[in-house]
């Protein structure tokens, strides 16, 4: 007779783990890092420049979280290798990598230059590839690891003006599955989170009421397309990232967890 294991909620704890969150100084990156910290992880993060990194340190300090910040461009392979080596000296081998750093350029395809397209793909897809390459050897050495790629609904859907972003996030979905395929045997789980439309300072202009007090057209569009009938919040991503970073997800690999309020399941209301 098969013995059923007793469920232990401690499998969600991250005590003793070191988590690197790229672009972790603000927005959803900071929200996810904060959740990992409250689950017990030691947080390290990078930003593209000193100013953003220092802002991040102050934000974590205000939350009572001790974090270490590094200035590093995720598309620079040598700089990433040096950062990962420095993190190892400062705090230890990375257990959890959250590939959060990314950009979007909303430009109609016929107006978008190849250089713009390359930049989006370089940061959103090549960056996670470079980061994963840098941390996987240490994870193999430790005998375990968690890589969480921040994908998007645009990993599945297209939309006007985001050809570079959608192409990069679709590629990131497949990179996630390939890392799973290549390193699952080493007890490394690589999964993705696909956020829906999240209410952040960056999206605030899309949610501001019009001069006559009516909702912004894009706000109305998103709420109508979302069965949850609202925008997501950074807090909505905290539970999923802790789950995918923890022992609770040890048999979950190559999966994209869409945190979108149901948009991808919904065809929309009949006119």
156 has pLDDT over 80 = yes
Residue 25 has a pLDDT of 96
Once rounded to an integer, what is the mean pLDDT over residues 117-142?
98
Model confidence at 2, pLDDT cuts 50, 70, 90, reads low
Residue 49 has a pLDDT of 97
Residue 77 has a pLDDT of 98
Model confidence at 1, pLDDT cuts 50, 70, 90, reads low
Once rounded to an integer, what is the mean pLDDT over residues 66-73?
98
Active site residues: 165
Residue 253 has a pLDDT of 98
Model confidence at 243, pLDDT cuts 50, 70, 90, reads very high
Once rounded to an integer, what is the mean pLDDT over residues 249-270?
95
Once rounded to an integer, what is the mean pLDDT over residues 129-136?
98
pLDDT digits (tens, 9 = 90+) for 77-123: 999 999 999 999 999 999 999 999 999 999 999 999 999 999 999 99
Model confidence at 70, pLDDT cuts 50, 70, 90, reads very high
More confident call, 214 vs 98? 98
- Mean pLDDT taken over the chain: 96
4 has pLDDT over 80 = no
> DSSP string of the chain?
-PPPPPP-GGGG--TT-EEEEETTTSHHHHHHHHHHHHTT-EEEEEESSHHHHHHHHHHHHHTT--EEEEE--TT-HHHHHHHHHHHHHHT----EEEE---------GGG--HHHHHHHHIIIIIHHHHHHHHHHHHHHHHT-EEEEEE--GGGT---TT-HHHHHHHHHHHHHHHHHHHHHGGGTEEEEEEEE-SB--GGGGGGTSPPTTSPPPHHHHHHHHH-TTSS-B-GGGGHHHHHHHHSGGGTT--S-EEEESTTGGG------
Model confidence at 48, pLDDT cuts 50, 70, 90, reads very high
Q: What is the pTM of this model?
A: 0.95
Model confidence at 206, pLDDT cuts 50, 70, 90, reads confident
């Amino acid at each position: 007779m098969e013995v059923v294991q007793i469920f232990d909620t401690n499998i969600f704890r991250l005590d003793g783990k070191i988590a690197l969150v790229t672009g972790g100084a603000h927005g959803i990156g900071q929200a996810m890092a904060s959740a990992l910290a409250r689950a017990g992880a030691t947080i390290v993060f990078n930003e593209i420049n000193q100013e953003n990194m220092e802002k991040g340190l102050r934000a974590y300090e205000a939350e009572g979280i001790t974090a270490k910040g590094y200035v590093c461009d995720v598309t620079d392979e040598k700089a990433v290798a040096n950062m990962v080596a420095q993190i190892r000296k400062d705090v230890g081998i990375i257990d959890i990598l959250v590939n959060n750093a990314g950009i979007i350029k909303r430009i109609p395809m016929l107006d978008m230059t190849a250089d713009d397209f390359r930049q989006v793909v370089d940061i959103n897809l090549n960056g996670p590839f470079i980061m994963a390459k840098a941390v996987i050897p240490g994870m193999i050495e430790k005998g375990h690891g968690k890589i969480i790629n921040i994908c998007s609904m645009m990993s599945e859907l297209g939309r006007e003006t985001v050809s570079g972003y959608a192409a990069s996030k679709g590629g990131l979905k497949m990179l996630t599955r390939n890392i799973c395929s290549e390193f699952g045997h080493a007890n490394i789980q690589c999964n993705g989170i696909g956020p829906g439309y999240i209410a952040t300072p960056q999206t605030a202009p899309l949610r501001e009421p019009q001069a006559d007090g009516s909702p912004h057209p894009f706000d109305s569009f998103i709420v109508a397309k979302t069965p949850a009938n609202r925008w997501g919040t950074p807090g909505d991503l905290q539970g999923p990232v802790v789950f995918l970073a923890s022992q609770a997800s040890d048999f979950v690999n190559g999966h994209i967890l869409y945190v979108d309020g149901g948009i991808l399941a919904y065809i929309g209301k009949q006119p």
